[in-house]
Structure 1
Amino acid sequence: MDVDSGDPDVGRVREAAAAADWNTVREVLEARPESEGLTELLWAVGDTAGVERWITGVLEAEPDAALPRLVAGIRHLSWGWEARTGARAKDVTRAQFELFHSRLRTAEKWLYEAAEREPLWSSPWYCLQTTGRGLEVGQVVARRRFEATVRRDPQHLEAHQQQLQQVCDKWGGSHEEMHAFARASAFGAPGGTLLGQLVAIAHIEEWLSLDPGADAAYMRLAEVTNSLREAADHSYRHPDFVRRGAWLQVLNTFALAFSLAGERDSARECFRATEGRVTKFPWYYLDGSDPAAAYRKQRAAAGR
């Protein structure tokens, strides 16, 4: 299970956050351009328990600095979703929802302050996309937040992933809107783009929405397999594709999509490229407790 995409700074910043070592956290984050994997580093800090306690002192000591506010925002964002848990809405208690929304509102306060201090940063707006989904700000506001992110970073993969979720049927959109957004984003970007992953995610999302039997039949439709091949050709198969940022997650996503579609040769190609390195997304859709086991099972079925 690859928890850091091979980036040593992920583990370093996570350890610093757990130790309340703000100087190291700041050093690692400031050294990383937003377009070169900063999002993963921010989540490594945001997902670390206890950050909400020590970041308060940093905010007081640096009242004009944007970075502490960004860190406080993403921690409260992550902390909020922890309170909600991954359960279906009907299984989440009222108390959990109240705590969830309270933490997300605190996150929004810090994120807006970070955006005001650094108007060229894309990260606060990307985080606001996620808080907005939890607070159910609606499609119009959600779209504005997405557009604010991509104005600053047009190929921000995580921002596109969030917007894809926003237009999914389960979040108030539709399958048609989801697929249209995925294709427009992927093929509107230059060849070799990581955004080709969106096409695969969209098909996986529709597969998840269907009953057993209908889900397998959907993934084996000629239009679905052709769509996946076309996206692969424009993405990781393109000569301009570079293994940077979330490339490993992109290959894992196509590996799952092609496996579900019964495209063994294409799936095997992806498994070979990942070299046994498993990303939690998307394999937790098949096995939430052991994504690596799901990966191994599908890899074996593909004959790798």
Structure 2
Amino acid sequence: MGKSTAGKGTDEHGRPGCSPGPVTDAFDAHPELAPLRTAAWDGDWDATRAFFAELGSPDDVSFAAGLLARVDRTEWYLEKVARSLPADPLPRTLLAERHIRIGWGIRGGARAGDVPPDQLDEFHGRLRKAELLLIEVCAEQPAYAPAWTARLLTARGLELGQSEARRRYDRLTEHHPDQPDRSDHPRHPHHFRAQSQLLQQLCPQWGGSWEAAHGFAQECVSAAPDGSHAGILVAEAHIEHWADLDDAEAAEYLRNVSVRDELRQAARISVLHPGHRRDWHWTGGHSTFALAFSLGGHAADAAQHFEALGDTSSEAFWRYLPDWRNQFTRYRADALATPRDER
């Protein structure tokens, strides 16, 4: 199977394609998100703030902030609100996320050396705008996890290096509400979006190594309770590793029995665990496992993830495939044709 780097290393969701296929827009897959999109379309700050006020965790706030950043032209009303509410961290963080989103869209999916200089300059300019906003927020409210999460994206895009990305992640974990009040306890926040962003930074494309990337995924799994999202990181790391290999190596990588077994265990303790909460990461988790198992030729393992997804999917990692929507449909049909006694 051929591979494509379209969307690779760009952002956490990619950009929508035009061919028919599963529902990939999170606003449509999760109807409870619809009020946020409506508020963004209307430039309605009161409705936007009310939506975020109802969210129960920093990870939910960060997820919704990244989603809002996808809505075109939201920077206009967010800039006005950020100026009018200079003490509120939310509008500045949302505006920073929008600058980040625009910047990554300008950059595209090529490696740094292949991006035209003018695009790279514009990309960095957007990220520097975001970084200035986020520096202010983090200085004023060092416990504001959504801002630290966004700074993991700017750190990677501005190529600030592994140490700086780790520093930012550690600052986030210092204040995360999941952190026990014990000075001798290791810091593991279970903040999935931040973990997924740091995992990207730890890949070789951004100056890391596969040992570091896989190690971090396993570290998060070990620290998290069963039923958390952490197991998804194992699948993300393996797909990134697969995508970095040449075609001959890639064809065998995900077929490896040890990799398959690692994916099975990660799925069992995350999206397939009885205690797993069906929240906004749920679609992305099942989509990632469905892709990893499908690429490895493990149709029976993929089937339960396709069944869970129904007609929805996250396109984030599927975008690594050429004509990914048709490939998704084909893989899904093959998996669901597997006899149930083989699953």
**TM-score normalized with structure 2 length:** 0.83
**Aligned-pair RMSD on alpha carbons?**
1.8
Instruction: Flag structure 2 segments of 5+ consecutive residues without an equivalent.
Output: 1-22, 177-188, 338-343
Instruction: Write the distance in 2 (CA, Å) between the matches of 1:19 and 1:266.
Output: 43
Q: Per chain length, whose mean CA-contact separation is higher, i.e. which structure has more relative contact order (CA < 8 Å, sep 6+)?
A: 2
Q: 1:76 aligns with which of 82, 99, 117?
A: 99
Provide the residue aligned with 1:34 in structure 2. 57
Instruction: Write the distance in 2 (CA, Å) between the matches of 1:245 and 1:117.
Output: 29
Provide the residue aligned with 2:325 in structure 1. 292
Q: Are the counterparts in 1 of residues 58 and 145 from structure 2 also a CA contact under 8 Å?
A: no
Q: Are the counterparts in 2 of residues 278 and 295 from structure 1 also a CA contact under 8 Å?
A: no
Q: Are the counterparts in 1 of residues 143 and 172 from structure 2 also a CA contact under 8 Å?
A: no
Deviation (angstroms), 1:168: 0.4
Instruction: Flag structure 1 segments of 5+ consecutive residues without an equivalent.
Output: none
Q: 1:200 aligns with which of 207, 227, 235?
A: 235
Letter in 2 for 1:176: E
Q: 2:88 aligns with which of 65, 82, 102?
A: 65
Provide the residue aligned with 2:131 in structure 1. 108
Does the residue aligned with 1:185 lie in a helix, a strand or coil? helix
Number of matched residues? Answer: 302
Provide the residue aligned with 1:188 in structure 2. 223
> Is 1:172 aligned with 2:207?
yes
More helix by share: 1
CA 1:202 to 1:250, structure 2 compared with 1: closer, same or farther past 3 Å? same
Question: Which stretch of structure 1 is more off in the superposition, 29-38 or 165-174?
Answer: 29-38
Instruction: Write the distance in 1 (CA, Å) between the matches of 2:60 and 2:304.
Output: 25
List, as ranges, runs of 4+ consecutive aligned residues in structure 1 with deviation greater than 4 Å. Answer: none
Does the residue aligned with 2:303 lie in a helix, a strand or coil? helix
Provide the residue aligned with 2:335 in structure 1. 302
Deviation (angstroms), 1:88: 3.3
CA distances 1:126-173 after superposition (whole Å, capped 9, x unpaired)? 000000000011111100111222333411111111111111011111
CA 1:84 to 1:291, structure 2 compared with 1: closer, same or farther past 3 Å? same
Instruction: Write the distance in 2 (CA, Å) between the matches of 1:278 and 1:148.
Output: 32
Provide the residue aligned with 1:241 in structure 2. 276
Q: 1:226 aligns with which of 255, 258, 261?
A: 261
Identical aligned residues as a percent: 36
CA 1:239 to 1:9, structure 2 compared with 1: closer, same or farther past 3 Å? closer
Question: Which stretch of structure 1 is more off in the superposition, 191-200 or 106-115?
Answer: 106-115
Provide the residue aligned with 1:12 in structure 2. 35
Provide the residue aligned with 2:196 in structure 1. 161
Deviation (angstroms), 1:176: 1.3
